[in-house]
Amino acid sequence: MEINKFFPEIHGNFGFGCMRLPMVQNKVDYVEFTKMADTFINAGFNYFDTAHGYIGGQSETAIGDCVASRYSRDKFLLTNKLTDPYFKKQEDIRPFFMQQLAWCKVDYFDFYLMHAQNRNNYEKYKRCKAYETAYEFKKEGLIKHLGLSFHDKADVLDMILTEHPEIEIVQIQFNYADYEDASVESRKVYEVCEKHDKPVLVMEPVKGGSLVNLPPEADKILRGLNGGSNASYAIRFAASFPKMAVVLSGMSNMEQMTDNISAMKDFMPLDEKEMDAVHKVCDIFRSMNLIPCTSCRYCIEENECPKGIRIPDMFSSLNAHEAFHNWNTTFYYKNVITGNGHGKASDCIRCGKCEKVCPQHLEIRNLLTKVASIFE
Q: Which is nearer to ligand SF4, 243 or 307 (CB)?
A: 307
Q: Which amino acid is at 331?
A: F
Interface with ligand SF4 (CB under 6 A), residue from 352, 363, 366, 376: 352
Residue 234 CA to chain centroid, in angstroms?
14
Confirm or reject binding of residue 370 to ligand SF4 (CB under 6 A): no
Interface with ligand SF4 (CB under 6 A), residue from 101, 247, 348, 371: 348
Cβ distance 118 to 108 under 8 Å? no
- Across the strands, what pairs with 143? 109
Of the candidates 267, 292, 289, 348, the one whose C-alpha atom is nearest the C-alpha of residue 44 is: 267
Confirm or reject binding of residue 305 to ligand SF4 (CB under 6 A): yes
Confirm or reject binding of residue 354 to ligand SF4 (CB under 6 A): yes
- Classify burial at 248, counting beta carbons within 10 Å of its beta carbon; exposed 0-12, middle 13-18, buried 19 or more: buried
Q: Which is nearer to ligand SF4, 50 or 319 (CB)?
A: 319
Classify strands 23-24 and 27-28 as parallel, antiparallel or unpaired.
antiparallel
Q: Which is nearer to ligand SF4, 160 or 299 (CB)?
A: 299
Interface with ligand SF4 (CB under 6 A), residue from 170, 362, 371, 375: 362
Least CB distance from residue 345 to ligand SF4, whole Å?
Answer: 8
Classify strands 77-82 and 143-150 as parallel, antiparallel or unpaired.
unpaired
Least CB distance from residue 365 to ligand SF4, whole Å?
Answer: 5
Least CB distance from residue 189 to ligand SF4, whole Å?
Answer: 19
Pick the stretch among 83-91, 142-150, 198-206, 352-360 that binds ligand SF4 (CB under 6 A). 352-360
Of the candidates 129, 58, 140, 147, the one whose C-alpha atom is nearest the C-alpha of residue 107 is: 140
Of the candidates 278, 196, 294, the one whose C-alpha atom is nearest the C-alpha of residue 243 is: 196
Interface with ligand SF4 (CB under 6 A), residue from 365, 369, 370, 374: 365
Q: Which is nearer to ligand SF4, 24 or 290 (CB)?
A: 290
Confirm or reject binding of residue 336 to ligand SF4 (CB under 6 A): no
Confirm or reject binding of residue 349 to ligand SF4 (CB under 6 A): yes
Query: DSSP for 36-102?
Result: HHHHHHHTT--EEE--TTGGGGHHHHHHIIIIITTS-GGG-EEEEEE-GGG-SSHHHHHHHHHHHHH
Pick the stretch among 102-110, 214-222, 327-335, 350-358 that binds ligand SF4 (CB under 6 A). 350-358
Q: Which is nearer to ligand SF4, 252 or 319 (CB)?
A: 319
Number of residues in contact with ligand SF4, rule: CB under 6 A? Answer: 28
Element (H, E) at 172: strand 169-173
Classify strands 109-117 and 77-82 as parallel, antiparallel or unpaired.
parallel
Pick the stretch among 27-35, 56-64, 309-317, 329-337 that binds ligand SF4 (CB under 6 A). 309-317
Confirm or reject binding of residue 366 to ligand SF4 (CB under 6 A): no
Interface with ligand SF4 (CB under 6 A), residue from 36, 51, 251, 309: 309
CA-based Rg of the chain, rounded to a whole angstrom?
21
**Chain residues that interact with ligand SF4, rule: CB under 6 A:** 293-299, 303, 305-307, 309, 311-312, 348-354, 357-358, 360, 362, 364-365, 368
